[in-house]
């Protein structure tokens, strides 16, 4: 989950290993949930791509996207909250982090677009969201994604099956 254009669909595609989700520079391309089964560390689970969080907008499409996002959050066991290091923390990130902290879900704060060393210092800003250590990743080149998936799968190692483990 995350606001529009932070790279949720790019991350989804990187994890799935194919271009299943449409990735466009235009905001609001993803509007519905998109599911894919993946295998990681011997476990199969479902990952979900969602539309972007835009609570302030009240038009019909924004309400429907928010409804799909809420459904994904309710159904997920683990949430990947995706943000954008180049934009820094914005109001929508704060709003969504407050919403996510009200759930009992395990939340992984994913700071995407960390494509170079300067991103490390910029990534420290995301601690203010109160969701723990941020995972600096690059959905474009794959940096940091293996560690994110390893950490997310670790508590599930003893489980026989995993249902919906993450919504991105």
Who has greater pLDDT, 83 or 164?
83
Main-chain phi, psi angles of 163, to 5 degrees: -85, -120
Report the helix count and the strand count for the chain, using DSSP H and E. 5, 6
- pLDDT bin (cut points 50, 70, 90) of residue 110 is very high
Query: To the nearest whole percent, how much of the chain has pLDDT over 90?
Result: 48
Task: Quick: pLDDT tens for 45-87.
Answer: 888 888 888 876 667 777 777 888 888 889 999 999 999 999 9
Any idea which residue has 């959905």 for tokens? 139
Residue 119's contacts (CB-CB under 8 Å, 6 or more residues apart) are: 85, 86, 111, 113, 136
């Amino acid at each position: 989950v995350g606001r529009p254009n932070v790279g949720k669909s790019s991350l989804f595609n990187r994890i799935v290993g194919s271009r299943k989700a449409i990735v466009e520079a235009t905001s609001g391309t993803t509007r519905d949930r998109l599911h894919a089964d993946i295998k990681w560390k011997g476990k199969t689970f479902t990952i979900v791509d969602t539309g972007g969080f835009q609570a302030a907008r009240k038009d019909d499409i924004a309400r429907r996207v928010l409804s799909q996002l809420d459904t994904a959050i309710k159904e997920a066991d683990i949430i990947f909250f995706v943000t954008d290091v180049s934009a820094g923390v914005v109001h929508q990130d704060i709003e969504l982090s407050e919403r996510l902290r009200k759930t009992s879900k395990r939340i992984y704060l994913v700071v995407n677009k960390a494509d170079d060393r300067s991103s490390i210092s910029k990534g420290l800003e995301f601690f203010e969201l109160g969701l723990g250590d941020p995972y600096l990743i690059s959905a474009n080149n794959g940096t940091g994604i293996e560690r994110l998936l390893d950490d997310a799968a670790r508590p599930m190692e003893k489980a026989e099956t995993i249902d919906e483990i993450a919504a991105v």
